[in-house]
Structure formats: structure tokens, C-alpha cells
Amino acid sequence: MTKTYSLVRSLVVGGMLALVVASCDSDPSGPEPPGETFDRSEMLARYGQDLILPAYAALQQSVAALQASASAFTAEPTVAGLEALRAQLKAARLAWQDANLFQFGPAESVTLRAALNTYPADVDRIEANVASGTYTLGTLDNRAAVGFPALDYLLHGLAATDEEVVAAYRDAPDAANRRAYLQDNVDFILNATEATAGEWAADGGNYIGTFLSPENAGTDVGSSLGMLINAFVLHYERFIRDGKIGIPAGVRSAGVPRPTATEAYYAGYSAELALANVRAVRRLFLGNDRADAAGTGLDDNLRALGAGDLADWIEAEMDEAIAALAALNDPLSVQIETDNDAVLAAFTALQDVIVLLKADMTSILGITITFQDNDGD
């Protein structure tokens, strides 16, 4: 939508408004001064500047550190190096939980989520790639052989003891290939992250400028808020509730649990990642930054529209979901096998939030999900 168009739009609507107001000028109260109008641009600025850019910056930083650790480890595989690398992997995966909510714009064109975090990892494919030594990591075929889940397997899943894992990178016949694959995969993660962060950056692709431009400050499907909400609600529904909890718990496989489908199956901190992700959703809703400092968020938007109860309720339901996730023990795969009911309870708690986000919140905010014509059925 161009500026001219929105000006024309304003003039026509204004004219209509003037007509209506003029014809009703006997109304004793008259139109009220637009006093406390909520400024959606301010909220978008909060999201763009204080949540999204820092989330990508933190991800980029931790992935860069991951790459440094990986280089050190592949140069000289040691147990200490492996431990350092594993710690960096976990840090990066946690940073990812803050950044994965924004799968629109640059992240969508880079297909960042699929590149970084398609799981469960395809172990056969990874081993075939290692054995052959020839592969292109960005292809669709290799989706489940790259990213964090592949590192999960490569660093945690090769053998029972640390020494044996190190040996796989040092002494095994295919050690050189395996080192190369590890390094290539980390480079691949860094490239995808940098591509996304670079597109967002004001001194790069300046998507932040697009995100904050007045033309995109509406609520239709192509607007910044529309994309943000559609993206994070979809992520919450399919990649948190389903991907992290529901699918491993068997909700989508005719009731048969699939513990190996957990996010960090080999490292065993899947529940922790899920918890971090839902906390990030809560912060996003409240407009809180990574340090959890308060700011203008969707809750304030709802409040300004007179739906403060809804904001409170969503927050309360999110807290319940967080509590249900916090009650789960890692490794999540073991929890699923021993006490799946707690996992299913967490699934239900996560579900309760979705109804409010997808039906009530989008309805109050006037967010649309499609470009198609609509006559407001």
C-alpha cells in the first residue's frame, strides 16, 4: 500500500466521516477527542527494535561462538573441547528459542526454522553424508541431516562415553569426514543465521525499516502486526505444542508415543528448550525484552481496546502452560516413557492458550489471515 493511497483513503473516509458527523450534529455528546488512542507503531517499534533484532543478534553471537568451539574441536578433538562445544550448542539452542517465533520476512525467505531445527534428525542420512563426504547441506533432502538436531546427534548420540565420541572424531577411519561434516554443518547454521539477521539489520537489508514503516502499521494479512501474530501463533501451535510436546507424546500418531521425536533427544534437555520457548512467547505477548523488562506489547494493545480481561486471561493461561512444562523432567523422552500423562497435561495446558490467541485475540485486534475477499460472513 503506497503513501498516496493511504492518504486518498484517509480523505475519502474522512469525507464520509464528516458527512455522518455533520448529519448527526444534534448529538449532545459529539465526537470525543481522540485522547488515549493506542499507538500501534510504538508497539511495533518495541517488537522490532527491542525483541526481534536483539533475538537475532543473540542467536548470531551464540552461533558464532559455536563455530569457534567447533573449529577448536575439529582442530584437536579432546574431551574438554567436546564439553565446551556441547555447552555452546546448548547456549545456541536456547538463543534459538527466542528467535524462532519470527518466521516471516527474512526468516521465511531463508526458511530459517527448517534449516536450523528440523527434527528428529535423520541419522542414516547423516551417516551416509559422512561416509560419502559429498553433500549439499541446503537441499530439501538434507533437511533432517543439518542444523541443531544433527549436532545433537553428532555431539551426543554417537556413543555412550565422551572418550568414544572424541575417538569418532580423532581415531575412527571416517574421522576426517566426520570432522568436516561437523564443521560444514556449523558453518551452514551460521550462514543461515547471518543471512536472516543481515536482512533485518538497518545497515543490511533493512527489513526493520519495512517492518516499522507506516504503510505496514495496519492489521491486514500483509501488515507487520498481522505477519508477526500469524507467525508466532503458528509457531506456538505447530512447533511448540505439537512439535516439542504433542508429537513425541503421541497425540498425532494415533496415540502411540514417539519419544525419539523430542527436540534434543540425544542431549536430553528437550523440556528445557520447550520451557524457554513458551517463556519467549509470554515475553512477546507482554512486550517484555530478553531481560524480561516490561514494554508496550499485545497485552497493552488489548487493554487499550478495552479487553484487559482477555490480556489477563491469556497471561494466566500462559503461566499455567509454563507451570505444566516446568513440571516435566528431562530427558523428556524418559518422561514420556514413564509418565506420559504429565506430558499430555502439558499439551492440554498449551492448547488452552491457543484458543485465546487464535480466536479471541485475533478477533479483538482485527487481524486477518488471508488476502482473499471477505464480506464479514
Partner 1 sequence: MRKLLTAQTSIAPLVVFRALFGFIMAVSVLRFVLNGWIYELYVRPTYFFTYYGFDWVVPPGEAGLYVLFGLMGLAALGIMLGWHYRIASVLFFLTFTYVELIDKTNYLNHYYFVSIISFLLIWVPANRAFSLDVRRHPGLRADTVPAWTVNIFKFQLGLVYVFAGLAKLNPDWLLDAMPLRLWLPAHAHLPLVGGLLAEPLTAYLFSWAGAVYDLTIVFFLLWRRTRLPAYLAVLAFHLTTALLFQIGMFPYIMILSTLIFFPASFHEALLDRLRVLWSRIARRPAAVPRAAVSALPVPFRFSRRASAALAVLLTLHVVVQVLVPLRSVLYPGHLFWTEEGYRFSWRVMLMEKAGYATFRVRDPATGRQWEVANWEYLTPNQEKMMATQPDMILQFAHFLEDTYRQQGLEDVEITVEAYVTLNGRRSRLMIDPSVDLTAVERGLRHKTWVLPFAEEQDRWISRR
Which residues form the interface with partner 1 (CB under 8 A)?
6-17, 19-21, 23-24, 29, 31-32, 34, 37-38, 40-41, 214, 217-220, 238, 242, 246, 250-256, 302, 305-307, 309-310, 351, 354-356, 358-360, 362-366, 368-377
Helices (H) and strands (E) in the chain, counts: 19, 0
AA identity, residue 25? D
Least Cβ distance, residue 374 to partner 1 (angstroms): 5
CA gap 12, 19 in Å, rounded? 11
CA gap 74, 61 in Å, rounded? 20
Least Cβ distance, residue 167 to partner 1 (angstroms): 42
> Which residue's CB is nearer to partner 1, number 155 or number 251?
251
> Which residue's CB is nearer to partner 1, number 203 or number 341?
341
Contact assessment for residue 96 and residue 117, using Cβ atoms and an 8 Å cutoff:
yes
Closest CA to 117 of 153, 144, 82: 144
CA gap 134, 180 in Å, rounded? 10
**DSSP sequence for 18-34:** HHHHHHTTT-SS-PPP-
> Which residue's CB is nearer to partner 1, number 137 or number 233?
233
> Which residue's CB is nearer to partner 1, number 52 or number 350?
350
> Which residue's CB is nearer to partner 1, number 77 or number 297?
297
Closest CA to 287 of 38, 91, 99, 49: 49
- Reduced to 3 states (helix: H, G, I; strand: E, B; else coil), residue 258 is coil
Residue 12 CB contacts under 8 Å (≥ 6 apart), including other chains: none
Least Cβ distance, residue 225 to partner 1 (angstroms): 9
> Which residue's CB is nearer to partner 1, number 75 or number 355?
355
CA gap 334, 43 in Å, rounded? 41
Least Cβ distance, residue 376 to partner 1 (angstroms): 4
Least Cβ distance, residue 103 to partner 1 (angstroms): 14
Closest CA to 270 of 234, 286, 235, 246: 246
Least Cβ distance, residue 304 to partner 1 (angstroms): 9
Least Cβ distance, residue 289 to partner 1 (angstroms): 23
Residue 69 CB contacts under 8 Å (≥ 6 apart), including other chains: 81, 84, 85, 87, 88
Least Cβ distance, residue 219 to partner 1 (angstroms): 4
Least Cβ distance, residue 353 to partner 1 (angstroms): 11
> Which residue's CB is nearer to partner 1, number 71 or number 351?
351
Q: What cell does 309 get?
A: 480481561
CA gap 323, 279 in Å, rounded? 10
> Which residue's CB is nearer to partner 1, number 138 or number 214?
214
DSSP state of 213: S
- Reduced to 3 states (helix: H, G, I; strand: E, B; else coil), residue 220 is coil
DSSP state of 201: S
CA gap 303, 309 in Å, rounded? 8
> Which residue's CB is nearer to partner 1, number 3 or number 334?
3
- Reduced to 3 states (helix: H, G, I; strand: E, B; else coil), residue 331 is coil
> Which residue's CB is nearer to partner 1, number 51 or number 233?
233
Least Cβ distance, residue 317 to partner 1 (angstroms): 12
Closest CA to 267 of 130, 150, 129: 150
